[in-house]
A = this chain, B = another copy of it.
Amino acid sequence: MALDDLIFGKALRSSQERAEQIGPAAGIPIFGLDALSSAGYGPEAALTLLIPLGAAGLGYIVPITAAIIVLLAVVFVSYRQTIEAYPDGGGSYTVARENLGESAGLLAASALMIDYVLTAAVGISAGVGALVSAAPSLQPHTTALCLGILALIAYVNLRGVKDAGFFFMVPTYLFVGTLGVALIWGLAKTAASGGHPLPVAPLPRPPAALEAVSAWLIVQAFASGCTAMTGVEAVSNGVKAFRAPSTRNAKLTLTIIIAALVALLAGIAWLARAYGIVASDPGAPGYQSVLSLLVGAVAGRGVFYYVCMASVLLVLSLSANTAFADFPRLCRSIAADGYLPAAFASRGRRLVYSHGLIALALLSGALLAAFGGVTDRLIALYAVGAFLAFTLSQAGMVVHWRRQGGATAWRGILLNGAGAAVTGATVLVVLAAKFLEGAWITALVIPVLFFGMKALRRHYERVSAQIAEPGPLALGGLTLPLAIVPITGWNKATKAALSFACAISRDVEAVHVAAENAGVDLRALWAADVEAPAAAAGLPAPRLVVLPSPYRYLLTPLVDRVLRAAQDHPGRRVAVVIPEIVENRWYNHLLHAQRATLLKALLYVRGGNGVVVINVPWHLRAD
């Protein structure tokens, strides 16, 4: 077994696509990790904003969570519709583009791309942040840990969808399972105690109220809690990853993910109120997360607590995986429409879109490195992207149903219309609530991506138009090229190039630039080794031209001569035949070949279609 097969897995044939497809069991970890892990930070984000209200803030967590769950239900139902309508994978990009036009599609695409890059970075740094607060000695290695986990996730995904599903299955189910048990346990205790359970582990005393309740604070808490909804889009983008019947499997997967998420969110909110758990300030000493307080209060600090906390931590840092599952598919769709380089649309050795995968790893790795693995501040940025994409997708579905018509169209229009209205309103709320905190950055980057992709497609169109309609090949009257061989001396490499030049042309000129280190006089060698055999064979000998170079330039005199030759012989090609010494070891390559590369670049920049560059290699033997 070759090393690369061992590391990256055996290359898969395009025809093996079906064997790589997955069912709901693997689909939940792959497409659901982001949504599910939201249970770990969404309620916490909302509760943190309620801290200034002290114990009084607890009264608001249940209604806020209820509002979020309603929103989630709307989005869920409408994404089920989307999966049905776009069985080839209907992410927001596809739906918006097909129904609302190019610009809406690209807007959704830009928003989603930013959302995914942020999801990957924030997920990993949140997980590592939790780990570091549990084991402070790891603090100095925060960035390294983040990048290590990022690399691991990227690697697992490069091995293909099947391997990734297998890898992420255990932590996902452990997380849902243990947290679910903790919540049921807590609810049972609450019921048994008549609504006022006693915590097993002591809880911090709620701080005194610092502020009066204001509507704006509640809106902000809601906006923060909405981060729990990112990742819901994922399944609709990846319908084709599921095995047949893929639509049914995708819908089933989405349903299970959302049901689990709703149960977790509702349970957390309810128990937080029942136990009187208020969030603590992440910057303050003795900080504990809401989940840690809650599980400790319900179950005490035993083995169960630690298993549960470990699974939260694991799922948080692996939630980046959803971005890895979706970002490459999104890029594929965009590239297929010509807004990104074509490479993003082709699958790598394990049938995943490796280019998009690696691009995501590089982008979020750069973010993590730039922020030293502490990306808390980025959280503010990313609900905007997700909700903008939601809104465009919902609005697109409304148009879709209207176009389709039929008896049941009114149901779709109603549902998706409601979804569009609610998510659109949420975009505005989140944008307003988070604008100064950083949402303005998203609002700034989205147009950059948007116009960048438009420009790229325009560029590709321009190129296609310019090379299109070549017409029939003209074979009559093909003239042999004029060959120019740049030489620095008379050696085997030069001779090989000259010999090739003589094979393809009767008009060969060897050009030697006499700069500083002129060395031997070539003329005598030329007479003996080139002109004499040519005379003997009765053929025209290649001419030797020595160019002076008073300013010691090595390439300029040569390029000038080639361009003049091209000018003097319009309609005839000038072939520059470059002798090149090729090393058997790549690192030795650095010592040669720079000049050949530079010469080619210069000839391309300054020359026209008539100047052809030929590289004749002369391979060195290994020692």
Interface residues of A, Cβ cutoff 8 Å to B: 11-15, 341-342, 345-349, 456, 459, 462-463, 466-476, 478-481, 490-496, 498-500, 502-505, 515-517, 528-530, 532-534, 537, 539, 542, 550-552, 554, 573, 575, 581-582, 586, 588, 591-592, 600, 604-605, 607-609, 611-621, 623
7 A-B contacts (beta carbon < 8 Å): A466-B620, A468-B492, A472-B529, A475-B533, A478-B502, A608-B619, A609-B617
- Residues of the B chain whose Cβ atoms lie less than 8 Å from the Cβ of A534: 473, 475
- A609 adjacent to B496 (CB under 8 Å): yes
Q: Which residue on B lies nearest to A494, using beta carbons?
A: B470
> A615 and B617: CB pair below 8 A?
no
B491 in contact with A551 (CB, 8 Å): no
Closest 9 CB pairs of A and B: A467-B491, A470-B495, A504-B504, A478-B503, A467-B492, A475-B537, A13-B550, A472-B529, A470-B492
Closest to A500 in B: B612
**In the complex the two chains form, what is the Cα distance from A11 to B551 in whole Å?**
7
Inter-chain pairs besides A478-B503, A607-B617, 10 sampled, C-beta below 8 Å:
A345-B517, A463-B581, A469-B492, A471-B495, A472-B528, A472-B532, A472-B533, A473-B533, A481-B504, A613-B617
> How far, in whole Å, are A466 and B618 apart by their CA atoms in the complex?
10
Indicate which residue in B492, B498, B537 contacts A476 across the interface (CB closer than 8 Å).
B537
Measured between beta carbons, the chain B residues less than 8 angstroms from A604 are 582, 617
Cβ–Cβ contact A612 & B609, under 8 A? no
Q: For residue A503, which residues in chain B have a CB less than 8 angstroms away from its CB?
A: 478-481, 573
Q: Chain B: which residue is nearest A495 at the CB level?
A: B470
A349 (CB) vs chain B CBs: closest residue: B551
CA distance A468 to B479 in the complex (A): 34
* Nearest CB of chain B from residue A531's CB, rounded to whole Å: 9
Q: Which of A505, A537, A554 neighbours the largest number of chain B CB atoms within 10 Å of its CB?
A: A537
- The CA of A471 and the CA of B499, in the complex, are separated in Å by 12
User: What chain B residues lie within 8 Å of A476 (beta carbons)?
Assistant: 537
Smallest CB–CB gap between A522 and chain B, Å? 12
| Alpha-carbon distance A282/B250, docked complex (angstroms) | 70
Select which of B502, B529, B611 is within 8 A of A617 by beta carbon.
B611
A285 to B618, CA, bound (A): 66
Residues from chain B with a CB closer than 8 A to the CB of A618 are 467, 609
Q: How far is the CB of A275 from chain B (nearest CB, A)?
A: 48
CB neighbours (8 Å) of A481 from chain B are 500, 503-504
Q: A470-B494, A539-B475 are in contact. Are A516 and B620 (CB under 8 A)?
A: no
* Residue from B342, B462, B588 within 8 A of A620 (CB atoms): B462
Chain B residues near A468 (CB-CB < 8 A): 491-492
Of chain B, the residue at the smallest CB distance from A488 is B342
Whether the pair B530, A473 counts as a contact (CB closer than 8 A) is: yes
**Interchain CB contact under 8 A, A13 and B480:** no
A507: shortest Cβ distance to chain B, in Å? 13
Cβ contacts under 8 Å, A342 to chain B? 517
Determine the chain B residues whose CB is within 8 A of the CB of A495 once the complex forms: 470-471, 473
Q: Please, which residue of chain B has its CB at the minimum distance from the CB of A464?
A: B491
Q: Which B residues are CB-close (under 8 A) to A516? A: 14, 345-347
Q: Are A615 and B613 in contact (CB under 8 A)?
A: yes
Who on chain B is nearest to A550 by CB?
B13
Contacts of A491 in B (CB 8 A): 467-468, 470
Q: Which residues of B contact A463 (CB under 8 A)?
A: 581, 592, 620
Q: A341-B591, A615-B600 are contacts. A533–B466 as well, Cβ < 8 Å?
A: no
**Chain B CB within 10 A, most for which of A475, A480, A534:** A475
Docked Cα-Cα span, A530 to B475, in Å, equals 9
Which one of A474, A498, A615, A623 has the highest number of Cβ atoms from chain B below 10 Å of its Cβ?
A615
Distance in angstroms between the alpha carbons of A575 and B481 in the assembled complex: 15
Give the chain B neighbours of A479 by CB distance below 8 A: 503
Q: Are A612 and B611 in contact (CB under 8 A)?
A: no
Indicate whether A473 sits within 8 Å of B502 (C-beta atoms), given known contacts A13-B551, A467-B581.
yes
B contact residues around A537 at 8 Å (CB): 475-476
A614: chain B residues at CB < 8 Å are: 575, 612-615
Please name all residues of chain B whose beta carbon is closer than 8 Å to the beta carbon of A474 when the two chains form the complex.
Answer: 499, 533
Cα–Cα, bound, A127→B573 (Å): 59
